[in-house]
Amino acid sequence: MNEPLSYVQPTPESPWGTYLGQIDRVLPYLGPLARWAETLRRPKRSLIVDVPIELDDGRIAHFEGYRVQHSLTRGPGKGGVRYHPDVTLEEVMALSAWMSIKNAAVNLPYGGAKGGIRVDPKKLSIKELERLTRRYTSEIGIIIGPNQDIPAPDVNTNAQVMAWMMDTYSMNVGATATGVVTGKPIHLGGSLGRVKATGRGVFVTGREAARRLGLSLEGARVAVQGFGNVGSAAAELFHQAGAKIVAAQDHTGSVVNARGLDLADLIPHVRRTGGVAGFAGGEAIADEDFWGVDCDILIPAALEGQLRPERAGRVRARLILEGANGPTTPSADDILNDRGILVVPDVICNAGGVTVSYFEWVQDFSSFFWTEDEINLRLDKIVVNALKHIWDTADRHKIPLRTATFAVACERILLAREERGLYP
């Protein structure tokens, strides 16, 4: 009865195909709610927009932009905006669906959404980037809003991009609407603690998982792929807890140091040069060798599809913390499970970011702002409670944490679906 979507051709290992496989695995744990499961396989709304801008030299360039609202059943859409040359509709669909799962897994009153532009932002000047952001915001303005869908930063977008989005939306509606995006600069209604919130969530879930494994963070060896917002913040927190960052990889290269990379030098080096390559405090290794580095905890915090079967076979860590969205392919996931390596899945591991985005949104509505300590404490509590509930579910059904997270989240989404009923 239900034909597959005609507008994407997923494969079992592509982002949307990976997500569909995850939904298939969770069906046996949904009981009678499974009759609503098809709603999870169909994004509610997918918008593709043309984003034309005038370049600094007078030429006109066109870019393809997207905003997908996978689910609005539990509340407004919520999810980041990505600028990357490999962005596709299929990728944005999968990322928006994972946002639905993540928001439900931590019980935030949101659906799931995601956006992106197929662009290499490193090739644009700052003024071109601003024009791109403003035009994109106007184009998707028909479906976003503080009560409809609230974008946030993702790969290659930051607080400045959010400020431009907020300003453009506000100009179009004729009133300052701080709650239309999260991840804004602090003095524009941003929240303390937001910049490092995703990395903090990775740390908190890692701390809890390590405790269950009997792995002490004092002296634990950590390898991090992706040294951007998420990876570097997580690395700093693990370092503060006594762990050693023994390897770091980003799009420029890979560096290792068995005694621990000195973050006080590495972070400024990355800021100055744009990547970890050339860092004098470590030894350069081939990118493929990063996956076989001797470590206790591995944090993929770059892009999806990075942990593939051949790499999963080389991993020496006991614990994998998925800072990135969708970093592990389904077949690699099976290998890691077979090898007894514990994976804390993206949909709970990196949920700290959207949790503090939720705090930001709440603060914007009430125009009353919390201290950083309050934010970090509330983040810790929400993530720990959510993870405990997921772990209990995993133990009860004897299933991996990923399937358990999907079970908890899908049950919440489909229960809301059933209670709301079908319109009209």
Residues forming contacts to ligand NAD in the complex (CB under 6 A) are 153-156, 198, 225-231, 249-251, 275, 301-303, 323-325, 350, 353
Q: In the complex with ligand NAD, which residue's Cβ is closer, 296 or 304?
A: 304
Distances (CA, A) of 377 to 342, 364, 380, 395: 26, 19, 5, 27
Q: In the complex with ligand NAD, which residue's Cβ is closer, 180 or 266?
A: 266
Give the DSSP H/E element, type plus range, for residue 238.
helix 229-240
Q: In the complex with ligand NAD, which residue's Cβ is closer, 73 or 249?
A: 249
| Beta strands in 226-353, from DSSP E residues, in sequence order | 244-250, 253-256, 283-285, 297-300, 319-321, 342-344
Amino acid identity of residue 239, one-letter, is H
The DSSP line for 68-117 is: EEEE-SSSSEEEEEEEETT--HHHHHHHHHHHHHHHHHTT-S--EEEEEE
Respond yes or no: is residue 244 known to be catalytic.
no
CB of 95 to ligand NAD, least distance (A): 7
Residue written as tokens 């503090």? 356
- The dihedrals phi and psi of 305, each to the nearest 5 degrees, come to 70, 20
CB of 417 to ligand NAD, least distance (A): 25
CB of 273 to ligand NAD, least distance (A): 11
Please give the residue whose beta carbon sits closest to ligand NAD in the complex.
228
Strand-by-strand arrangement of the 319-321 sheet: 283-285, 253-256, 244-250, 221-225, 297-300, 319-321, 342-344
Classify the phi-psi angles of 374: left when phi > 0, otherwise alpha if psi is within -120 to 50, otherwise beta: alpha
Q: In the complex with ligand NAD, which residue's Cβ is closer, 153 or 400?
A: 153
CB of 78 to ligand NAD, least distance (A): 11
User: In terms of Cα–Cα distance, which of 22, 376, 8 is closest to 204?
Assistant: 376
CB of 249 to ligand NAD, least distance (A): 5
CB of 101 to ligand NAD, least distance (A): 12
Q: In the complex with ligand NAD, which residue's Cβ is closer, 21 or 253?
A: 253
Alpha-carbon distance 122 to 120, whole Å? 5
Alpha-carbon distance 169 to 144, whole Å? 9
Q: How many CB atoms lie under 10 A from the CB of residue 35?
A: 10
| Beta strands in 203-309, from DSSP E residues, in sequence order | 221-225, 244-250, 253-256, 283-285, 297-300
Alpha-carbon distance 58 to 404, whole Å? 53
CB of 301 to ligand NAD, least distance (A): 5
Q: In the complex with ligand NAD, which residue's Cβ is closer, 189 or 323?
A: 323
CB of 306 to ligand NAD, least distance (A): 7
Q: In the complex with ligand NAD, which residue's Cβ is closer, 103 or 350?
A: 350
Alpha-carbon distance 44 to 39, whole Å? 8
Q: In the complex with ligand NAD, which residue's Cβ is closer, 30 or 133?
A: 133
Which residue among the candidates 102, 114, 184, 196 is catalytic per the annotation?
A: 114
Give the DSSP H/E element, type plus range, for residue 61.
strand 60-71
Distances (CA, A) of 102 to 97, 210, 352, 383, 408: 9, 21, 10, 11, 10
Which residues are catalytically annotated? 114
